[in-house]
Structure 1
Amino acid sequence: MLVELRIKNFAIINTLNLEFDPGLVILTGETGAGKSIIMGALDMLLGQRVDMSTLRKGSEFASVEAVFRIPDNVRDPVIKLLEQEELLDGTEFLTLTRELRKDKRNIARVNGHRTNVTVLVELGQYLVDIHGQSEHLSLMRVNQHLGLLDRFSGTTEQLEEYQKVYQKLKETQSTLAGLRQSDLEADQRKELLAFQVEEISLTAPVEREEEPLIELRNRLVNAEKLADLGQNILILLDDAPSHQPTVMDLVGQIVSSMEVLSKTDPALETQNQRVGELSDGLFELGKSLRSYLDTLEFDANELEKTQDRLALLHDLKRKYGETIPEILNYMENARRQLEEITGRSTRIGELIEIENSLLLELGLLGQKLTQSRKSGAQRLTSELEIQLDDLKMAGSRFEVFFRETESDTGVPVEDGKRLEYHPDGLEKVEFLIEANPGEGLKALAKTASGGETARLMLALKNVLAKADHISTLVFDEIDQGIGGRIGAVVGEKLYRLTPEHQVICITHLPQLAGFGQQHFQVLKGLADGRTSIQVQEISGEERIKELATMIGGPSEKNQESARELMDYISKVIQ
């Protein structure tokens, strides 16, 4: 609710501070006293475009500041917006400020922090409805109509159930779209992966097989050279021509001499043993070398097979990794990707089934929700007709228009049709009105402001009182074109809104003003030789005199009429 309003240098207002109570707040005063200027200041605060003419003559700036108590039913979205804009400063009260400077700069503040005017507009949509200025009227915003209808119809739980399925459907469709996009790319990669897996699998490389193959290839390639070298060694060892001593002959002589030496001098026994070991080693060398040469032969087929195998391994290393373990790891990764691609097709099929199931479920829930809304719309229309009749507007009409759109990709409904689906249902809803008979139904959002429209809004507000989350309602033109009797009806209806709303009303009708729970008198006078607006809160006899003046003048008779009016109102509101 609006707790305090502070205005400075705005139009003919010098300085004005108003503190508001809950309930029905009335502003009265003579025509031209400046009541609507106060509402204009509130408009400016909430983002209305203003020009330099609103700046009080001779002033450097105009400012409007308001303190609101944040209503519980809009606390969450308001706090979310404040956090988003980094403007949160407590969760009970909210201070909005707007300044217009002589240099044409606009300054907006929330809780003392600089921000954009658009933030004031957004916050104002949660806090205030100004009837008479459609920019600040929630009922003029089509996107609010469905929420109002749901709260009035009691379909909030049905909507939540629908939205849960809607969310599941959207998540499924998002996953499905991602898989389908991946599937297009995967199809192009699938053939390559299959080839790579097959190529590596057919080659079947084995860890540490390359080194023995290289050794075998070297042996086969160098078989003749190895045989020649081996034979030369054997000749030197023990197969030299008869006229030449062999290595074994020479070593034998050394062995014999060392035996004599070691027997003569035991200190040489170790050397003697070494010579014996050398002789034995050379003997074993000749033996193993003969065995090696017996197995050594050149095999062209074996060489070709070995070279082919090494070539295959080299080709794999060039493509898939520097070592055989890396090649095998590459193959496993490729195989996993192939399995994922194959599994993706299966998963896509499963998700399509889930999507169709969710579309069917959403269609059923959506149709039930639509029926409940249409029942609520009928009840809303019926209750509104009673309100309009009370306001002597029986010729006015109201209708809730349901717009459904067929779509091939929509949810299945009765008659084999498919309808578009939205986060909040299968339809878009808009309030239509005919304020005056014969004009035809028009979109409420496109209806010009005026007395009839304001009273129709009042009727709607009464019917939607518990469904409407806007805590402060301002009525500026509601008494245009009506007399005292209807004014009393309007006053009572405004009063009946106060359990759920703070209502601020500017009026010229005493029958309406008498219902106020707080009453401000707006006066225009001179201060320091300049015209200025003054506002004072009145009660008791001061209020009786103001009501009497509104009836016809401050005479005793009119004051008595004012007292009778207040007695009547006291009985009405009991």
Structure 2
Amino acid sequence: MTVTDLALMDRVQLGLGEGFTVITGETGAGKSLLIDALGLVLGVRADPGLVRHGASTARVEALFDRVPEPLIAVRELSTGGRSTARLDDDAVTAAALAEQIGPLVEVHGQHDQQRLLDDRRQRDLLDAFGGHDAARSDIATAVDRWRANRSALAELAIDPRELARRLAILEHEAAEIAAARLHPGEAADLRARLSAAQHAEAIARGSAAIREALAGEIARERGGRAGREGGGAREATGIAAREARNIAQLDPRFAAVAERLAGLEAELADVAGDIRGLIEDLDHDPAALAAMHERLSLIYSLQGRYGDDEEAILAYGARAREEAERLLGLDDEREGRVAEGAVLLSDVGRTAGRLSDLRSVAAAGLSASVGQALEGLGFGPDVFQIAVGRRPALADEPAVEVDGDAVAFDATGIDEVAFQLAPNPGEPARPLAKIASGGELSRVALAIKQVLAAADATPVLVFDEIDAGIGGRSADPVGRSLWTLARDHQVLCVTHLPQIAAHADAHFQISKRERDGRTITEIRPLDREGRIVELAHMLGGANGGAAALAGAGDLLDRAEAWRGALAAAS
């Protein structure tokens, strides 16, 4: 990971290997700033105040050795608050960055330890240990189906007077639309006919001219001689067709011409007939015109209330009929929903009961495993317990019957899960939230993480202030636990305890110094001699002398001896 112009870091490069890595340094040197930098490439919200004074942009680049191909994540932050992100060479949003990088890294801090006090978090951890994903999905589905039916039943609870009012309205609307006997396109046809009637005289004059031109029909109607002298186009075409047929008897090439002319004559006759029919259909009767106006007004009135055209009005009427029929059958539907609700609630009870049985079995296993891990962290035997209980339903609360009791439920089942600790011999176990100190909570969180590590696919685990509240006596077991956890994960830990740092596979020191009148943060890897000096400072402060150096060397020796003994035993 390379960090540029972030707070006190002008340019810091950190190469992390496999196993357990610790970062140590004096207070204020910037240990947690590295965690902030990592958070930026994890897509967390960016704070423009992190940009180094005098710089315009801060940049964090992280290379993940992902299988099958490495992945480069980049986040840049400007003083103006603008944030940009890239994955390899592609520009992405911070949300996309979180989606892609989030599954690779899990950060644990004091906030995460406090989450352990939440009973919902405890239940989720128990389910993760037991592998209850399918059972959790089943109960969520069962409860969703029951809730959907209950919502539908609630919608059927209509006041009788309101039901009667709605029925009357729907029946009136459906009857009004049915009585209108609408046809799609009827309004457009009426408008066209009324427009034609309004211009009937002009249409008649024009039509007469067309008929005169086609066949001389007007002249014949007036007693003229257009049939023989100055006839219309149809008669002229007929004469031409007859002449073409006569010529075709002499020259067959004219047969096609005669056929085409005969076709034209027939077509002109059809056109003349169509025009005659259109003229005859013109509405001149005042009563008929009034009826059309009244019909069009009715359609417009229906459009204003039920839809933009005839199709929409008819569809509204169909829906009104269907809804009226549904309301008439409301009692039957309500009875059906009540019966279905009883079946669905019974299914919730059975499904929740199966999950509860699984949780009881898993609680025994997780209690034993975490208890064993806690023994390695300095606790006595049998200090950790998991209670799986059920909350009785209130009088007005939905409930399922379990073993004869009315039990409350939700989409996660019927169980209340409580992690309990009994750190003092002879005292009963009590919920973590009521008894655990900060140091005890840190070790319980670490023990649970260690137990769940085998099922955790997250490759990188980061612990920030895991040692909060932990004293020297408890620190060595914590260091051993982190080293063990790092056999299956890459583990990065920020710590101030030398007992934890001594167990690391790699050790980095963060420090501040002044350069060109500016304070900068540096980070450097430590060899064995450097580690002894750093551990001595952590043991005895900046003035740690020979005794502190000897103690630091002893810490490293004991950590290495412990690892050697493990290797020999395996």
TM-score above 0.5: yes
CA distance in 2, matches of 1:558, 1:333: 84
In the alignment, what sits opposite 1:128? 106
SS of residue in 1 equivalent to 2:14: strand
Tell whether 2:65 aligns with 1:65: no
Q: Are the counterparts in 2 of residues 406 and 419 from structure 1 also a CA contact under 8 Å?
A: yes
Q: Are the counterparts in 2 of residues 548 and 561 from structure 1 also a CA contact under 8 Å?
A: no
SS of residue in 2 equivalent to 1:413: strand
The one-letter code sitting in structure 1 at the alignment partner of 2:471 is I
CA apart distance, 1:28: 3.3
In the alignment, what sits opposite 1:569? 563
Identity of aligned pairs, percent?
A: 24
Inter-CA distance 60–335: structure 2 relative to 1 (3 Å threshold): closer
Inter-CA distance 425–166: structure 2 relative to 1 (3 Å threshold): same
In the alignment, what sits opposite 2:472? 483
In the alignment, what sits opposite 1:18? 14
Tell whether 2:401 aligns with 1:413: yes
CA apart distance, 1:545: 6.8
CA distance in 2, matches of 1:333, 1:546: 81
- Note the 1:38-437 alignment, pairs <5 A: 38-39=34-35, 56=52, 58-60=53-55, 63=58, 65=60, 67=62, 93=71, 95=73, 97=75, 99=77, 101=79, 106-111=81-86, 127-131=105-109, 133-134=110-111, 139=116, 143-180=120-157, 187-191=164-168, 338-394=324-380, 399=386, 402=389, 404=391, 406-407=393-394, 408-414=396-402, 416-427=404-415, 429=417, 431=419
Deviations 1:140-169 (A, max 9, x none): 666543322111123222222223322332
Q: Are the counterparts in 2 of residues 152 and 466 from structure 1 also a CA contact under 8 Å?
A: no
CA distance in 2, matches of 1:526, 1:440: 53
User: For 2:23, which of 21, 27, 41 is the aligned residue?
Assistant: 27
The one-letter code sitting in structure 2 at the alignment partner of 1:373 is R
In the alignment, what sits opposite 2:3? 6
CA distance in 1, matches of 2:428, 2:522: 42
SS of residue in 2 equivalent to 1:524: strand
Tell whether 2:457 aligns with 1:462: no
CA distance in 2, matches of 1:464, 1:43: 23
Q: Are the counterparts in 2 of residues 67 and 94 from structure 1 also a CA contact under 8 Å?
A: yes
The one-letter code sitting in structure 1 at the alignment partner of 2:124 is G
CA distance in 1, matches of 2:32, 2:170: 77
The one-letter code sitting in structure 2 at the alignment partner of 1:158 is A
Inter-CA distance 439–366: structure 2 relative to 1 (3 Å threshold): closer
In the alignment, what sits opposite 2:461? 472
In the alignment, what sits opposite 2:505? 517
Unpaired runs of 5+ residues, structure 1, are 73-89, 206-313
Aligned length: 434
CA apart distance, 1:134: 1.2
CA distance in 1, matches of 2:161, 2:491: 61
Inter-CA distance 394–534: structure 2 relative to 1 (3 Å threshold): same
The one-letter code sitting in structure 2 at the alignment partner of 1:490 is V
Tell whether 2:480 aligns with 1:492: yes
Inter-CA distance 499–141: structure 2 relative to 1 (3 Å threshold): farther
CA distance in 2, matches of 1:92, 1:124: 15
Calculate the aligned-residue CA RMSD, in Å. Answer: 5.5
Identify which range, 419-428 or 184-193, moves more after superposition.
184-193
Please report the TM-score for the alignment, with normalisation by the length of structure 2.
Answer: 0.58
CA distance in 1, matches of 2:143, 2:487: 36
CA apart distance, 1:127: 3.9
CA apart distance, 1:366: 1.0
SS of residue in 1 equivalent to 2:504: coil
Inter-CA distance 391–170: structure 2 relative to 1 (3 Å threshold): same
Inter-CA distance 186–441: structure 2 relative to 1 (3 Å threshold): same
Inter-CA distance 401–330: structure 2 relative to 1 (3 Å threshold): closer
The one-letter code sitting in structure 1 at the alignment partner of 2:133 is T
CA distance in 2, matches of 1:335, 1:28: 77
Deviations 1:401-444 (A, max 9, x none): 75635144523213654333322212454546677899995665
Identify which range, 111-120 or 516-525, moves more after superposition.
111-120
Inter-CA distance 124–550: structure 2 relative to 1 (3 Å threshold): same
SS of residue in 2 equivalent to 1:59: coil
Deviations 1:89-135 (A, max 9, x none): x998573647473xxx544444376868999799869943333x316
Inter-CA distance 466–108: structure 2 relative to 1 (3 Å threshold): farther
Q: Are the counterparts in 1 of residues 467 and 495 from structure 2 also a CA contact under 8 Å?
A: yes
Inter-CA distance 446–65: structure 2 relative to 1 (3 Å threshold): farther
CA distance in 2, matches of 1:333, 1:389: 70
CA apart distance, 1:356: 0.9
CA distance in 1, matches of 2:494, 2:136: 38
Inter-CA distance 21–342: structure 2 relative to 1 (3 Å threshold): farther
Please report the TM-score for the alignment, with normalisation by the length of structure 1.
Answer: 0.58
The one-letter code sitting in structure 1 at the alignment partner of 2:107 is D
Deviations 1:197-222 (A, max 9, x none): 99999x9x9xxxxxxxxxxxxxxxxx
Q: Are the counterparts in 2 of residues 548 and 562 from structure 1 also a CA contact under 8 Å?
A: no
Inter-CA distance 477–339: structure 2 relative to 1 (3 Å threshold): closer
